[in-house]
Structure 1
């Protein structure tokens, strides 16, 4: 672990989580110590801000996307994933503890956990705080500590567990059972947060009571406590003024970030002084449209890292004739911004340059179109035999682009530091949690009703009735399919497949890149080798089996 406490050099760099408008004013504290600075109300508040900092090292970052999105049934490697970091999606023998992505996530979450421990443990001794404010500070820190541990146990299994601040150098670590971390850490931390946090925060981006209820609903679903998961999800849907955004695509309008569906999001900003490396989500799902002779890289279309490409399963999962989530989630049409020639025809700026469809089109029609007409013949998207005008063609350079993260407000066409907030919890997930939890309790009619709320919102105008499901439609495959349609690319999928016991089966069935390699070993990630190397009790702190 990075066991030394975060000192004040980090605190003055924290941008704050109160939204995109304010810059944290720096106070020179170079000679201060944690003991002296955290003993004041302002110092403790600054310490809390530092607990939020690791959120920006996970949400919207490449490391986290690779550990939650590909290697599942709905996303595999695009061209950029294959050429840069193929091992995680493919579960290859090269995916080891030396992988930088697992190291970054491990280290940053433990920094956050230790900072949370410092705030929680020091708060009782700080004079000048009202009890309500003290409890609120502790509750926010405990929520974040629970969130960080929740990610760690899902990713790594038994991990080091401590609720005490570490000061100085510690060279031993423990492997605490996952069940113990839930019982003594994650669940009581979130219960405390629910009891102490306000329904609405004083500043947008701070943790609130409904955010804590929503995260605990997710935790209880993972633990199999179905009734409690349903109860908590219902509290979020019924006790506050959250509403599903209509139409579905408007959730992702960058000019509509503070919308009624957001339960909690991680804040980024338009100010480069406070945005750091920014939200980089906009990079990873975009293919290289500039290979088209009529398109030059621009802000609306994004910068293409082309890391992740939808699988055949995800492409076939939507019915675009009635479900708005296909067009609401994926960009499939591009317009020329440069004069050029396609199939012998002159294309002018403003004309269609690329059109992707999730069905087969006759070759003759494609070859006569005055644009790239890319179709889907249901050959594996990663197959070497795919032609340029099929999804997956051009060596995985042609595919529908997940547009949930596109950021046209970046400072330049090459900028990677996006400013879009990252939605961690939104209302639709609560209906999906309640629906799954109800089904697990054999309340199939209730389950269908929950899912129909989400499906009604997703329906195209006049197709609401066609989108309804009945109790007989609900089973585990439907639940996973519906979560994929609603939450594609939102960092849920690997966790969903693991907690439902479907990771191996579904990856083998739907992700042909990963199918030959995935095995029980891969239900957890490798412990970072740097962690293994730095402990002085390696006999007690061992690597996960198979790595």
Structure 2
């Protein structure tokens, strides 16, 4: 079967095989090719499924978090981040086109784009499908192609742009301006998807009209087309049956992946034969709780890769007395599952082993507690600080993001999580509409949108205290509110870049990155493997500064 690969991704070497003719002689009467297989209804549907498959190479994977979560105002490197690709967060001189994380993201998106191009170009010729079905298949592929290009232009700026399937070897590439990619690719692709997709998919996980409207709202917000962004976000809010879940913590119940707030998610599965590497999000936001003498690593608490640690700024954003998103987002209490001793006191299974609090505690109280009592004194979490405060133990002590915990994995060391990865959910559409309204000087309308999200977030009985007024809405509030609602959801770097606040906020709130970040870091380096492949290097050069 032909392997249709983008030259931007890889060159496939085909090995030659031989067999002893006196043992076996084959005379194949037909071989499956892309031309023949994709010409059938089943073949083109399988081709479309392959477009979806590439989503799993980004969402729920380490690379996506390094490129969207760290190097921002809300997360810095934890212990595992320091020892695994620290340069992305730190914007160090070693942030180069040879970075494996950056290269993987580039490669996988172009694999997905070329597969989408193949489906889009071949679907009209398939016999045995209605025109409606053909348009639906094309629309799904165009949505995903738009999503891949949206990531690419935000991460890299001007990139290679093609809407045609590449077959065989191509050795040249173009650097198409970002505006052209939006105008000729991303926006028309999403408009086509809106016009040709159903409000509800026949198979859960397929993209839909509201998902397309939601993604285009995000795109228009990024481009500064405020009225269009608000219109699209408002349509998703009002025209369909999506509902905010309450309490906030219900969103992250792994048995509740399919719920009324999810507009669209990338699908994973419990079947190890089809799940591939799985959703690995559960690994990255957890500290090494098993250093505690009364806890042995287990399924419920997860396998702690310790990649990403909250910054002081993120910790101080929450008021746990009225905002349920603190407890709904962060795990702050661990229970002993092994008998041991802490501060001279016997701790048995079922007792509290670790408790994290977002405020200072007197040393005498900490030293007398029958558990690790980890406090927050607003010392820089990445600095040299005591063992029992945020960032202590060489960046090993911090509240764990529990949005991605996966206690249904097959073993305590399994990395192939089964949780779906939510890409678009209703709360974000309220945030988009609120920001877009504020940008149009409609502060009262903006406050109303934000208050819907804040009412859901309120601890019962504290709803009135969570309300804001029109006078409260400004850019800092918007960024603060998005940080509280969307912790770890693969969007913060994009938010800071599109609002022109990346350099300012990183310098202020991420002390690991502050000395190094520069204007050049508004885009990533082009992968060196890409630069090495092209035969027109004068036309396809590295991003400035790298």
For the pair 1:320 / 2:320, whether they are aligned, the reply is yes
Paired residue secondary structure (2:327): helix
8 A Cα contact 2:332 2:357, kept in partner: yes
8 A Cα contact 1:335 1:351, kept in partner: yes
For the pair 1:375 / 2:375, whether they are aligned, the reply is yes
Per-residue CA deviations over 1:424-477 (Å, capped at 9, x if unaligned) read 000000000000000000000000000000000000000000000000000000
Correspondence 1:411-422 to 2 at 5 A: 411-422=410-421
For the pair 1:176 / 2:176, whether they are aligned, the reply is yes
* 1:134, distance to aligned residue in structure 2 (A): 0.4
Paired residue secondary structure (1:67): helix
Distance across 1 between alignment mates of 2:305 and 2:421: 19
8 A Cα contact 2:7 2:171, kept in partner: no
Per-residue CA deviations over 1:263-294 (Å, capped at 9, x if unaligned) read 00000001111111100000000010000000
Per-residue CA deviations over 1:86-119 (Å, capped at 9, x if unaligned) read 1000000001000011111111110111111111
Correspondence 1:360-439 to 2 at 5 A: 360-384=360-384, 386-439=385-438
8 A Cα contact 1:497 1:503, kept in partner: yes
Paired residue secondary structure (2:334): strand
What corresponds to 2:234 in structure 1?
234
What corresponds to 1:23 in structure 2?
none
8 A Cα contact 1:2 1:107, kept in partner: no
What corresponds to 1:74 in structure 2?
74
What corresponds to 1:90 in structure 2?
90
Give structure 2 stretches of 5+ with no counterpart.
13-27
Given the two structures, how large is their TM-score scaled by the length of structure 1? 0.95
Provide the aligned C-alpha RMSD in A: 1.6
What corresponds to 2:25 in structure 1?
none
* 1:42, distance to aligned residue in structure 2 (A): 1.1
Correspondence 1:128-167 to 2 at 5 A: 128-167=128-167
What corresponds to 1:354 in structure 2?
354
What corresponds to 1:107 in structure 2?
107
Correspondence 1:32-71 to 2 at 5 A: 32-71=32-71
* 1:40, distance to aligned residue in structure 2 (A): 1.1
Distance across 2 between alignment mates of 1:84 and 1:169: 34
8 A Cα contact 2:8 2:110, kept in partner: no
Q: Classify 1:115/1:369 alpha carbon distance in 2 versus 1 (closer, same or farther; 3 Å).
A: same
* 1:375, distance to aligned residue in structure 2 (A): 0.2
What corresponds to 1:3 in structure 2?
6
* 1:326, distance to aligned residue in structure 2 (A): 0.3
What corresponds to 1:286 in structure 2?
286
Paired residue secondary structure (2:68): coil
Q: Which runs of 4+ in 1 moved over 2 A?
A: 28-31
What corresponds to 1:440 in structure 2?
439
Distance across 1 between alignment mates of 2:535 and 2:77: 38
Distance across 2 between alignment mates of 1:257 and 1:52: 18
Paired residue secondary structure (1:341): strand
Q: Classify 1:504/1:4 alpha carbon distance in 2 versus 1 (closer, same or farther; 3 Å).
A: closer
Q: Does 36-45 or 290-299 show the bigger shift?
A: 36-45
* 1:164, distance to aligned residue in structure 2 (A): 0.6
8 A Cα contact 1:5 1:115, kept in partner: no
Q: Classify 1:344/1:537 alpha carbon distance in 2 versus 1 (closer, same or farther; 3 Å).
A: same
Distance across 1 between alignment mates of 2:485 and 2:30: 48
Distance across 2 between alignment mates of 1:490 and 1:506: 18
Per-residue CA deviations over 1:482-534 (Å, capped at 9, x if unaligned) read 00000010001000000000000000000000000000010000000000000
Give structure 1 stretches of 5+ with no counterpart.
10-27
What corresponds to 1:334 in structure 2?
334
8 A Cα contact 2:5 2:166, kept in partner: no
Correspondence 1:22-37 to 2 at 5 A: 31-37=31-37
Paired residue secondary structure (1:273): coil
Paired residue secondary structure (2:373): strand
What corresponds to 2:542 in structure 1?
543
* 1:83, distance to aligned residue in structure 2 (A): 1.4
What corresponds to 1:458 in structure 2?
457
8 A Cα contact 1:5 1:166, kept in partner: no
Distance across 2 between alignment mates of 1:148 and 1:85: 23
* 1:31, distance to aligned residue in structure 2 (A): 2.4
8 A Cα contact 1:320 1:326, kept in partner: yes
* 1:125, distance to aligned residue in structure 2 (A): 1.2
Distance across 2 between alignment mates of 1:90 and 1:442: 36
Paired residue secondary structure (2:460): coil
Paired residue secondary structure (1:456): helix
What corresponds to 2:514 in structure 1?
515
Q: Classify 1:90/1:30 alpha carbon distance in 2 versus 1 (closer, same or farther; 3 Å).
A: farther
Per-residue CA deviations over 1:392-446 (Å, capped at 9, x if unaligned) read 0000000000000000000000000000000000000000000000000000000
Per-residue CA deviations over 1:356-394 (Å, capped at 9, x if unaligned) read 00000000000000000000000000001x100100000
What corresponds to 1:469 in structure 2?
468
* 1:126, distance to aligned residue in structure 2 (A): 1.2
What corresponds to 1:12 in structure 2?
none
8 A Cα contact 1:5 1:114, kept in partner: no
Paired residue secondary structure (1:275): coil
* 1:53, distance to aligned residue in structure 2 (A): 1.2
* 1:30, distance to aligned residue in structure 2 (A): 9.2
8 A Cα contact 1:261 1:426, kept in partner: yes
The structure with more radius of gyration: 2
Distance across 2 between alignment mates of 1:124 and 1:273: 32
